[in-house]
Structure 1
Amino acid sequence: MQVAVIGAGAVGCYYGGLLLRAGHDVTFIGRQPHVDAINAHGLLLDTKSFKDHLPARAATDTSVLAAPDLVLVCVKSADTETAGRSLAGHLRPDTAVLSLQNGVDNAQRLSAVIGHAVIPVVVYVGSEMAGPGHVRHHGGGDLSIGRSAASNALAEMFQAAGIGITIADDIDKTLWSKLIINCAFNALSAVANISYGPMLEVEGTRDVVTRAVQEAISVARACGVAIPDDLLAHILNIPAIMPNQMSSTAQDLARGKPSEIDFLNGHVVRKGAELGIATPTNQALQVMVKLAQRGKQGRRVD
């Protein structure tokens, strides 16, 4: 199958690399350092179970694409519309487009730009770009995909590549549950540059996490999303399961890159304001990250 990965970062390179290793023809679209390294030396796929250099093709823009069978959109949420515009003229009516992005509304935003159905996917993986063209896997890797006419065939394809995947009957619940997990830990991990394990050992942190989660659950339920009653208990157990995990927001700040905080805690704040639900903890976490970004980047953060 012809596969295009738009946004060849930690998520795109991990899943694209596994599909490449399974025999699919994968083209990675990403930033110049990764593109140069991949074209010169292949993609270094460094997982928990194997380490492999995979011959691969990469480019900095979509002009090299013909009409792929499958597109994995893995860009940051702020770049969703730009990525969508770059796909103009490269999609067939039967091309499957998947959004493997943080946040809850990227599939809708992307679909509005490209005029093409987009299947939302929730990603559960710990990975990072450890160097140009080098993706390092820390754990996890399962996907949850929205139900569509193509989902069964896509699930078989991912499973054959060693990727665990489920088809979610209620993808909004899955998307919001993942968003709420991100609201709990991403900002704190980023601002303190701390992994999940020791986070809750600091006095008061459990209370902050609990309030952020409760606010987000209230907003999600007001949006008509059926959040399970045990989500908070599950979230408070995550640091014990993933003690060494640093959030994607922490990785962004460490590299001096813009974070997705406006699409995580910030989304809860915006929807809360629309619905008349107070979200002071999520707002504080959002502002903390934006202040940290300003300090890191030495410029104004909008």
Structure 2
Amino acid sequence: MRALILGAGAVGGYYGGRLVEAGADVTFFVREARARLLAEHGLRIESALGGARLDVRTACDRQALAPFDLVILSCKAYDLDDALETIAGAVGPQTGVLSLLNGLVHLDRIAARFPRATVFGGVARISATLGGDGIVRHFGVLNRIDFGARDGGADARLEALRDFFARTPVDARLSAEIEQELWDKFVFLATLAGITTLMRASVGTVLATPAGETLILRLLAECEDIARAEGHAPAPEKFADFRAELTRPGSPLKASMLRDMERGGPTEGEHILGDMLARAQRAGVAAPVLEIAATNVRAYEASRASAG
């Protein structure tokens, strides 16, 4: 199986590097500067589960791409349109596209752009970063990835992906219920992003205020109601996990969306909060805290746009 990974950053670089370790036929589509760095130093991973320095194959010219068996997307949602144009030459009728983006709305956009390809759902659970020195640094030991066909059916490409990961430290799971996995992460992330961007603070800091826990749980309940209206409410034990994680005193947890705002960059606000709110409105589900959180990020994006 020939796989193309768009980018060699924190997520794509880590999971792609582990696939290379296992002997998979992987090509990374990267910018020329990143390609030069990879050619000179290799793909470097630092992790408590084992570091690596890997010689990898790269591509930089989107016009020269030919169809692959599998294309893996791990970009930010605000880069999706450019990403889809970048990989267009790599996607043929027999290609599978595995998305590791947060949320759900991107799956329909990918399917609309490549109607003859097969779009798979994926959820990456990892804390990693790409350093200025080009090293992918993995924090902690969590490095789970779930993927599957949206209809729950079997697919030889996903089975091959699972088998390659089985030779690595990655906790890879081929799921027959990937839609529910995507919804579970969507509910948790919309709550986390909504409350931490609205308050410009970590979960622990919000909890230290008199009404902090009440607001977090109201937002979590709203997102759960929306998921239930769409037929994908989290299981009770999953919801209990979310509640525990979002009400842990002193927690430093904050959404990457807040970090994007803190550095003045673009956010996935519309992709996560905007889409969740749109689903609430279509279903007639009241979501006042979510509406305020989405408006907050929309106002931030409008200010960025007016400032050029």
TM-score using structure 2 length:
0.84
- Residue 280 of structure 1 and its aligned partner are, at CA, apart by 1.7
CA RMSD of aligned residues (A): 2.9
Give the whole-Å Cα distance in 1 for the aligned partners of 2:289 and 2:275: 13
Deviates further, 264-273 or 164-173: 164-173
1:159-179 per-position Cα deviation (integer Å, ceiling 9, x unaligned) = 223321223232222111101
Aligned to 1:175: 182
**Counterpart amino acid of residue 79 in structure 2:** D
Aligned to 1:114: 114
Aligned to 1:136: 137
Aligned to 1:258: 266
Q: CA 1:80–1:289 in 2, change beyond 3 Å: closer, same or farther?
A: same
SS of 2:88 mapped into structure 1: coil
Alignment of 1:43-122 (within 5 A): 43-115=43-115, 116-122=117-123
**Counterpart amino acid of residue 44 in structure 2:** L
Q: CA 1:43–1:101 in 2, change beyond 3 Å: closer, same or farther?
A: same
Aligned length: 300
Whether the aligned pair in 2 keeps the contact of 1:46 and 1:135 (CA below 8 Å) is yes
Aligned to 1:300: 306
Alignment of 1:149-168 (within 5 A): 149-150=155-156, 151-168=158-175
For structure 1, which runs of at least 5 residues remain unmatched after alignment?
none
Q: CA 1:58–1:220 in 2, change beyond 3 Å: closer, same or farther?
A: same
**Counterpart amino acid of residue 138 in structure 1:** F
Whether the aligned pair in 2 keeps the contact of 1:191 and 1:292 (CA below 8 Å) is no
% identity of equivalent residues: 28
Whether the aligned pair in 2 keeps the contact of 1:127 and 1:138 (CA below 8 Å) is yes
1:242-293 per-position Cα deviation (integer Å, ceiling 9, x unaligned) = 9555432133234433111111122111111112222221122223334445
1:36-63 per-position Cα deviation (integer Å, ceiling 9, x unaligned) = 4333322221223233332234445533
Q: CA 1:48–1:288 in 2, change beyond 3 Å: closer, same or farther?
A: farther
Aligned to 1:123: 124
**Counterpart amino acid of residue 134 in structure 1:** I
Give the whole-Å Cα distance in 2 for the aligned partners of 1:60 and 1:132: 20
- Residue 119 of structure 1 and its aligned partner are, at CA, apart by 0.7
User: In the alignment, is residue 234 of structure 1 matched against residue 234 of structure 2?
Assistant: no
Q: CA 1:182–1:58 in 2, change beyond 3 Å: closer, same or farther?
A: same
Alignment of 1:266-285 (within 5 A): 266-285=274-293
Give the whole-Å Cα distance in 2 for the aligned partners of 1:18 and 1:145: 16
**Counterpart amino acid of residue 227 in structure 2:** A
Whether the aligned pair in 2 keeps the contact of 1:16 and 1:26 (CA below 8 Å) is yes
- Residue 182 of structure 1 and its aligned partner are, at CA, apart by 0.5
Aligned to 2:222: 215
- Residue 202 of structure 1 and its aligned partner are, at CA, apart by 3.9
**Counterpart amino acid of residue 233 in structure 1:** A
Q: CA 1:149–1:17 in 2, change beyond 3 Å: closer, same or farther?
A: same
**Counterpart amino acid of residue 297 in structure 2:** V
**Counterpart amino acid of residue 138 in structure 2:** H
Give the whole-Å Cα distance in 1 for the aligned partners of 2:39 and 2:197: 32
TM-score using structure 1 length:
0.85
Q: CA 1:291–1:90 in 2, change beyond 3 Å: closer, same or farther?
A: same
